[in-house]
Every structure is written in structure tokens, then in C-alpha cells.
Structure 1
């Protein structure tokens, strides 16, 4: 006898296929601040897509540190298009046309290509859906505006800044160490000013920038934002004319392709003498710089060449575990031949203050290869657990606050743009423009400070996560290494701490600290 089983109707089934939706995000630089902004966008779109019952989440595609004017260099966008071609996506959401493309030709080309594949795009800011458009006229107009948006804003902002350079009303929003802003004016911080005077005095006495930095770090003198002193920081202070009370504006400039350049006379510069109270005299400033330039000439360094401490992969990367000083490169001459070694700078100056003796360059390189090969061989045991521990550390409430601050900053920029347009057209009195513009600049500074504080808490973990992803990607595809490479070392190692002549610690950019023995 036949057995019949009734299968109940699925009353939840509507017969309607869900739309597979992906999002595209982009930020223009790879800084910690922009990295957090990118993470904000990713969190927003993931929640937004999953909250729609008719949509199926198809992923987030993103680019960081890439300009919107160069489509061929945006791997995330190209990957999105490739998945659309493979039929994995039905709809794409992006913040605005300018985030998607700032080139009219590229924008229309991509939109047409996706429309041919049956994929529509929603531009949130412009409230535009390519699936409901009867013609390309509106998109062409909007993308044309987006293409010119950066140029227009940039030129107007440059005009505004130059005007403030010329009339001496420009506010230095981020004063150097030794000063702080008070009602738009640079005011001396007495404790920090004493450190500045000490740095110049040390330079005049013949001390090198590395030695000055090491001395300040040993005494636990906090640098700007509580960081560590470096040779480059000291060199930057000695070269900074602001400590004389003067201010030289437009040391750098942005070209028509939005690339930043050092100004070697390509653009006008503006020197404002007596801009603020001086910490050191012009005479001390000029003598200290003359001493530094002479030291540079003796070592074959010029202002426009690679800095001395970056000539070798290990330079400024090796720290003494006993006294905390930097290691310096030395060549030991022996009857059997010469050998490259690295030695603690304090031990070189006075062996009684640090007992750490030199270590050979070849042995450090061999230890690095051993460490990397261990990671290649045991990545699942070492790197994967660290990756899992870093997941989910992002604080959504902080992201929401950062989003709120970014919106306020965007509004601030729009208000300044309106002011610039009004004064440029002659509708606003220049004196009133300066007053309103400076007030908006102060508000923007407060908003940026609040945003930076939030980024400080979450940016570290995110940066380490990104570095860890890069390392995992490398070791998962790499064969065992047989030869040392400076570029590889600099890509993954933050510093080396020497514990003894037999053991050191590699501190990786992803946060891992791995001990290795120095084998003879």
C-alpha cells in the first residue's frame, strides 16, 4: 500500500527573490583617522543592508589611501565590478558620486557597464537611483559637478588661505611643541619652552639629533601628544622658524592633481615676522642650523637627500634593552677582514653607563629570517589566534560619535565655503569674513580634537588588525625564506629590542613580540 505524507505549506515563503546588495566605500588617505572613517562607513552599510528584509547582504567593497580621480588604481572598485560581472550582485549602494568617481567619463562608463549587467547604483547623498532613471542627463550633470567639486573647493580654499597669509590673520591650527592656541593666537607653554631652549643649546654644543632625542627619552620627557622623541623630531624643531617668533607660510602646496609637494620656490611663500612671541633668538636659530648643516655635510647629507638614519633597514629600528638608546651601525676591522656590527650609542659614548656590547649585522638578519620562517610554518598557531582576539574590539558607540562629529565638520566646511564665495563675489566685508572664518576655524579645531581623542582609543587596534591582515596574507602565500630583504623587514617590523648578545625581541607592527636567539 502506498504511503503518502503531507508537507505543510511554507506560509513565510513569498516567492520573491531577495536583492543582493553590496556597498562601496572609499577614503582618500591611509591615515589612522581615515581608517576609522572607513570602518564607520563599513559598519553603517552592513547594518543598513541587513535591516532591509527584501535585501540580501552581498558584502562591502572599499579602497583606502586612493584618490577618486584614478579609477584604475582602485582595487576595491575593480573587485566590485568583477563580482557584478559574475552575477553575484544586483544593487550597489555608495555615499555619493564623488566617493564613487570624480571623473565624468569614468562615472558614466561604469554606470553604463553595470546597467548592461542589470546592476543598479544608489547614490545616497544625491538621492539618485540609476535603476529609475529615464536618461543619463541628471547623472551626467551631477558627476560633472562631482568632478569639479574638488577643484572648486580647493581653489576657493587656497584663495581664502592666501588672503589670510597676506593680511596676517591666518591661524595656525596645530602649533608646534612649545606653543598652544589661545583665542586664535600662539601662546608659549613655559615648561615646553624650556625643553626647546635645551634642544637648541645641545645642538650648539655639538650634540647630534639622535643623542638629544635619546637624552630626552631617558629622562622620560614627553614629546608632543605624549609620544617618544626621535632624531627626525629634533631635526624638525631645529629647522622650525616659528621658535624665533616668525611664521613662514606655504612651505608645501597641492598641485592640480591633488598631490602634495614641498615648496622649493614653485609657489609664493609668506614670511610673517613677529607673528607671535619667540622662544629663542634669530641668532641662536641660525647658529644651530649652521651646526646641523655642517654635520650633514660631513656625513654626506643634504636637505633634499634621504636622511642618514634611513640609509639602512635597521637604522633607528634597534633599541638597547638595558638603557633604551638607539643602536648605531659600525664597521669592525680585524686581521681576517671587516664586519658590520650594531652597537648601543650610549655604550659607544661611555661603556660605564651601558654594558651592552655590539651584535653582528649578519646574525640579526639570520634571526629575522628564522622568525619569519616560523610564522610561515606555524601561522595557524601564532597569527590566527591573534586575529581572532582582535575581532570585535571596535566600539560601535564611538563610531557613531565619530560619524556625528564628521557631519559637523562637513557642515563647518560648507559654511566656510559659503563665506569664501561671498567675500570673493564682493558681497561680504573682508573684516567680517576674517572674524567669521576664524571662529569657524576654532570650532573645527575643537571638533577635530574631540574626534582625534576617539580615534586614539580605537585607531591602534584597527591599525594592528590591518597590519596583521597584511602579514597573514604574506606568510600564507610565501615559501620558506632563504635571503634577507630590507623592504620585507621594514614592511612588518616596528623595532628590535636587544636583550643580550644572544637574544633579541622583534616587535611587529601587528602587535606581536617574538623572541629570537642570535646564532653564531
Structure 2
């Protein structure tokens, strides 16, 4: 079983333009194939395509060749060239890389699913990779939540009264004046609806040039 598809993928247009990553991957695959007596029947490339999904033109062609029996194995430089998802990896293993199906080989991880040991290593590496990504995501989410709780700016639309300047919040003189009027009126006992009316009478509007709503006034005076 040595009819092999060499699969190459780069995720950014910059890598595609420079071609270094593409050429480096191809060189490694050809060297590996020569060492292990594999016949590369076709080299397939997905250029500038993410591994978040299996719906990639090149990969689908490669899988089609495996499914039709025109190739016996798929060879990649590294597992993340094929997929970054444990769920997708599981689907590929179940549908294509079973003990009686096609083989999956990876140069960097030294994976060869023609053996039980190779299949075990593949599953372990995929699980560890997924765990690392989920851990990073959790840490990022916790850090952003902490910044919010501390009142720090975490991106998105700047709150009323401020403007985003190079990632930092800077007071907007006109909007700060509106905030001060709203808070003064609230301190005087006016309802949210009446404050909105009073601001309109004084020519103050929202960023979109519309009249303030009571709900907007509520947020403005609450942050004072």
C-alpha cells in the first residue's frame, strides 16, 4: 500500500504569495516518501485556507481519491495541516483512516495509522491539541471578564462620553457635557423620560443624530 497523496495547506495569503511554506512542506513530503518507499500519485494544495472546516477544495479532492480507491494513503507534514479540530479528526478516522481503510501519515509527529501504535498516537495528539486550544480560550475569556469587572476597556464600541483612540478611551468633550446635563437633571428629580425631552430641547442627540430614549438615559446616569 504505497499510492500516496501529498496534502499541503497554508492558511494565510502572505504564505501563499511567498511560497516558502508551500515549498518547504513539499520538500519534506517528497523526502519522507522516498525514505519509506511511497509513491506520490498527486500533490494537492489548499492555499490560503483555514483548517477550521473540512470543506476545503483540495482536501475534498484528496478524500475523494481515497474513497474511490485511486490512492491508499494521505501524507501531511504536520497534523494541523489536515485539521485543528478533534471532532473533525474523529470523523476522518471513522470514515477514511480505519484499520481496513486508507492510511494517514504525518512527517513531524511520525504518525502512521497502518499500525495500532500509530492510531493511538494520532488520537492522543489530537486530544492534546484540542485541550490546548480550549485552555487558551478559557484564559482569554477569564482575562477579558476580569478587565470588564475592573472597568477597563476591552474593545468594541466605546461607551457614551468617550472615544476609542488607538485602543485607549479618551473623553469626548461634547458627550461628557451631555452626560453632565443628564446627571444634573436626574439629581433634580426628573424622570428618565423628562430628561430625554429636556436634552432634546437643548439640541443634544445620540451619536446617530436621534433623540435619546429613557433606556439610554438610564445607562448614562447609572455610570456617573
TM-score of Structure 1 vs Structure 2, range by shorter chain = 0.5 to 0.7
**CA separation in 1, counterparts of 2:108 and 2:139?**
22
Shift of residue 138, structure 1, vs aligned partner: 4.4
Aligned partner of residue 59 in structure 1, secondary structure: strand
Shift of residue 22, structure 1, vs aligned partner: 1.9
Alignment partner of 1:80 is 2:69 = no
Q: Which has the higher contact order (CA 8 A, sep 6+)?
A: 2
Shift of residue 107, structure 1, vs aligned partner: 0.5
**CA separation in 2, counterparts of 1:83 and 1:40?**
24
Aligned length: 155
**CA separation in 2, counterparts of 1:158 and 1:270?**
19
Q: What 5-or-longer segments of structure 1 have no aligned partner?
A: 1-17, 161-248, 254-262, 274-520
Residues 127-166 of structure 1 correspond to what in structure 2 (within 5 A)?
Answer: 127-133=110-116, 138-153=121-136
Q: CA RMSD in A?
A: 3.8
**CA separation in 2, counterparts of 1:66 and 1:41?**
15
Shift of residue 110, structure 1, vs aligned partner: 0.7
**Could you tell me which of 46, 63, 74 is aligned with 1:92?**
74
- Does the aligned pair in 1 maintain the 2:6–2:40 contact within 8 Å? no
- 2:24 is matched with 40
- Does the aligned pair in 2 maintain the 1:19–1:56 contact within 8 Å? yes
Shift of residue 56, structure 1, vs aligned partner: 1.4
Residues 64-79 of structure 1 correspond to what in structure 2 (within 5 A)?
Answer: 64-72=47-55, 74-79=56-61
**CA separation in 2, counterparts of 1:94 and 1:54?**
15
Call closer, same or farther: CA 1:47–1:136 in 2, change over 3 Å.
Answer: closer
- Does the aligned pair in 1 maintain the 2:8–2:26 contact within 8 Å? yes
Call closer, same or farther: CA 1:152–1:34 in 2, change over 3 Å.
Answer: farther
Shift of residue 94, structure 1, vs aligned partner: 1.3
Call closer, same or farther: CA 1:34–1:20 in 2, change over 3 Å.
Answer: same
**CA separation in 1, counterparts of 2:37 and 2:121?**
27
- 1:27 is matched with 10
Deviations 1:460-512 (A, max 9, x none): xxxxxxxxxxxxxxxxxxxxxxxxxxxxxxxxxxxxxxxxxxxxxxxxxxxxx
Residues 241-390 of structure 1 correspond to what in structure 2 (within 5 A)?
Answer: 263-265=156-158, 270-271=167-168
Deviations 1:5-63 (A, max 9, x none): xxxxxxxxxxxxx71122222111222456431232123323432x3373212221221
Q: What 5-or-longer segments of structure 2 have no aligned partner?
A: 144-152, 171-224
Call closer, same or farther: CA 1:60–1:148 in 2, change over 3 Å.
Answer: farther
Deviations 1:216-273 (A, max 9, x none): xxxxxxxxxxxxxxxxxxxxxxxxxxxxxxxxx98xx8xxxxxxxxx44499x74399
- Does the aligned pair in 2 maintain the 1:94–1:122 contact within 8 Å? yes
- 1:121 is matched with 104
Residues 226-241 of structure 1 correspond to what in structure 2 (within 5 A)?
Answer: none
Shift of residue 78, structure 1, vs aligned partner: 0.8
Aligned partner of residue 71 in structure 1, secondary structure: coil
TM-score by length of 1: 0.26
- 2:148 is matched with none
Aligned partner of residue 115 in structure 1, secondary structure: coil
Deviations 1:161-206 (A, max 9, x none): xxxxxxxxxxxxxxxxxxxxxxxxxxxxxxxxxxxxxxxxxxxxxx
Aligned partner of residue 92 in structure 1, secondary structure: strand
**CA separation in 2, counterparts of 1:157 and 1:71?**
26
Shift of residue 141, structure 1, vs aligned partner: 3.2
Shift of residue 156, structure 1, vs aligned partner: 6.1
Aligned partner of residue 168 in structure 2, secondary structure: strand
**CA separation in 1, counterparts of 2:43 and 2:136?**
29
- Does the aligned pair in 2 maintain the 1:98–1:147 contact within 8 Å? no
- 1:384 is matched with none
**CA separation in 1, counterparts of 2:27 and 2:129?**
25
